[in-house]
Chains A and B, each alone.
Chain A
């Protein structure tokens, strides 16, 4: 087990280097950012040249990349155009997005899995059909529509919550955005759990457990659910990365100054350090989430072992 974890951690290194280079290359391909700094005005050549030299934009791409990676290992992620170090941006944005992701994941787990189990056990009943219909609706409406509608409904009409999240973004203000962010995934989790549960109710070990005379609750939670969760855990694990990086729409609607906001600003302003810095951390989160998922398999299903 320990060796497996170490091997996986070592495997992250080439993935990390490869992905950062790709991102760096793509941001670089967006073009020269200096012109945009001057607005609708032609930059004066001397100032533009000076800024390019300060940002190392005149060096070849590989040299820029090496310089950048060298700085990263010294803990320096570069500077955004507004003069703020990217590490500072990371420090302020990531906790907010992590909080938002936690809220979203909790919604997925609690509502998604509960609904999935209920519908899976009661296949064909009205509650099953109803839940399926509901998930279909949720999946087919784009996030920004749901986001704006719920914001208007709860924020302006009912005044239950504030339409936007304050800069410090405490958990209680993130409930509505978290729900919006989770909705689509929540629908998938419900459907995945339902199918998996429905399949396993007919499995031999469930019949054995029932025949042994175990209480129904224990059969469902310990035997049926635990084995049915593997595809769901895979989905939620990969979803962590997707939620953190894909929160751009939700973060814009609710004015949350998290990762999505910083990425959006970085891309809009062609600022390579910001974009690469944020995506690099996202890549790490993604890798770790996948590792966690693989390890959880062994916990859920004793038949899976890692030597």
Chain B
């Protein structure tokens, strides 16, 4: 049997080689269980980009989990977005710069450890320290001593390991000194970067990351990175908002179409990202189990004001003209199937009127008006070089369609087919690099998702001189002055109106054209009820009831 021996040889050789590479191992996934067990919500998820720790999580997917397993000093009301006291008993200040924070004594982490002033101070110091390279470090930038713990320039070393602005008074009280006046600082404290951390985080960081321990209504039961996480209701939770269900199973989907199909097949209870291709059918498929409501996200077209093409004195007129040349209503209806709302200011409807949202603040400059648009662009000297491009990244978010539509709208107004074309960049990373390195010559897409529902967050980081996300590198003394005044103003209503005055400066200079407010969308199965999206367009998991 010559043939047979040869075959044996072939199999052996391959087997040896395979074993050498180490492919032979078999995984021992425990299956994860889950299923339609009693009272468990099965929800779609995306793989978090970064390790799940409060100061290093800056995107929604990781944020979802942190919001379930942690509670901070404040919590944003799911309906109104108003910051209300959670662990904080009181936060008081007399000068808008020194804050006295008292915390409630009865909070504990799920491992039994008490939540004390130290839990906050240590967590914030960790988040701010340069050595830890936390993505959210800049949240602590207003705290006194930040420049020593986290020097801003490249290559600099930190000269202190703790923020000098944080002082412990007792286990239930600590003081925060800021490096500038910031009257609405307490309202920022609901953001996940400010969550407290237990000792276990510092003692055994690697293990903590495998199975995070927090103080929120859920505990992590099992976590298979990249595929799923099972969260269980924590029975020892004493906060005012315990989970209304037995737990949440988060499953990672790479394709939101598949998640939607799973929802239709009854394999999933909640999808918080309806695929664009299904928007036409979603109402007939799900009926009133489809949610479409404004979220704290605004999309704009930002201009590189550092570039000579856009820095001329009359250039603002061109930008205003371009803004008036975009038929926002048509694009949001046709392309986005009303999951976007035409923008009429630079904030978001989720702020509410009292929070600073003012419909129509931008006025005529953000309203479609072909004749006026053409006239303004001509007065401003025409498009620089006769044509513009709109930059976007081609890898995620399907921006091509709307960028082309915006360009079409501009081209129609100007009666010139070549006035505006889209300019894709391959990857998001590359796109961001170009923007950060000031290499843009033309307007580019820009999105802003709020960190906390304050008008300050929509204006200061984006348009204040040298602010962290000022992609346009806009600088206006009047705008800066008004923002500073607003931050120093202890009366919220007055502060908001000062911020709006600052916003009016943006109408004149138009450093970025507001396009539309993005909505959050979600769909759920008939097995669950009481599903809401909060202003961050994240489902309020702990309120979901399983029928």
Contacts and interface: CB of A to CB of B under 8 A. Distances in A.
Contacts of A268: 395-396, 427-428
A44 B137 contact: yes
B27 A162 contact: no
A292 B48 CA distance: 39
B429 A82 contact: no
Nearest to B4: A299
Contact of B14 (A51, A54, A288): A288
Interface stretch (B251-259, B313-321, B490-498): B251-259
A43 B436 contact: yes
A35 B436 contact: yes
A65 interface: no
B267 interface: yes
A18 interface: no
A75 B29 CA distance: 22
A156 interface: yes
Interface string B120-140: 000000000011011101100
A299 B1 CA distance: 11
Given A163-B265, A255-B252, A268-B427, 7 more contacts: A5-B9, A45-B153, A50-B133, A82-B226, A84-B225, A92-B29, A265-B47
Contacts of A264: 254
B169 interface: no
Given A35-B436, A156-B261, A299-B3, A166 B429 contact: no
Contacts of B155: 49
Interface in B1-32: 2-3, 6-7, 9-10, 13-14, 17-18, 21, 23, 25-27, 29-32
B150 interface: yes
A47 B27 contact: no
Given A47-B134, A255-B253, A269-B49, A40 B447 contact: yes
A110 interface: no
B264 interface: yes
Interface of B: 2-3, 6-7, 9-10, 13-14, 17-18, 21, 23, 25-27, 29-32, 47-51, 58-59, 130-131, 133-135, 137-138, 150-156, 209, 224-228, 251-255, 257-259, 261-262, 264-265, 267, 395-396, 426-430, 432-433, 435-436, 446-449, 461, 468-471
B469 A82 contact: no
B258 A167 contact: no
B231 to A, nearest CB: 15
B18 A288 contact: yes
A162 B264 CA distance: 11
Interface stretch (A134-142, A147-155, A181-189, A210-218): A147-155
A30 interface: yes
Contacts of A284: 21
A162 B151 CA distance: 53
Given A163-B261, A251-B254, A257-B252, A38 B135 contact: yes
Contacts of B152: 44-46
Contact of A5 (B13, B252, B448): B13
Interface in A238-263: 251-255, 257, 261-262
Nearest to A295: B10
A281 interface: yes
Task: Give the 5 A-B CB pairs with smallest separation, nearest first.
Answer: A295-B10, A36-B429, A35-B432, A83-B51, A167-B227
A92 B253 contact: no
B429 A270 contact: yes
B58 A39 contact: yes
Nearest to A41: B469
Interface of A: 1-2, 5, 9, 30-51, 54, 81-84, 88-89, 91-92, 94-96, 98, 148, 151-152, 155-156, 159, 162-164, 166-168, 251-255, 257, 261-262, 264-265, 268-270, 281, 284-285, 288, 291-292, 295-296, 298-299, 302
A32 to B, nearest CB: 5
B262 A92 contact: no
Contact of B209 (A33, A83, A166, A295): A83
15 contacts: A34-B429, A36-B432, A42-B468, A42-B469, A44-B138, A46-B152, A81-B50, A82-B47, A82-B226, A94-B23, A95-B27, A166-B31, A269-B429, A291-B17, A295-B10
A287 to B, nearest CB: 8
Given A33-B429, A35-B429, A164-B267, A81 B49 contact: yes
A252 B448 contact: no
Given A167-B29, A299-B3, A36 B427 contact: yes
A265 B396 CA distance: 12
Given A36-B429, A82-B50, A163 B251 contact: no
B471 A42 contact: yes
A1 B7 CA distance: 11
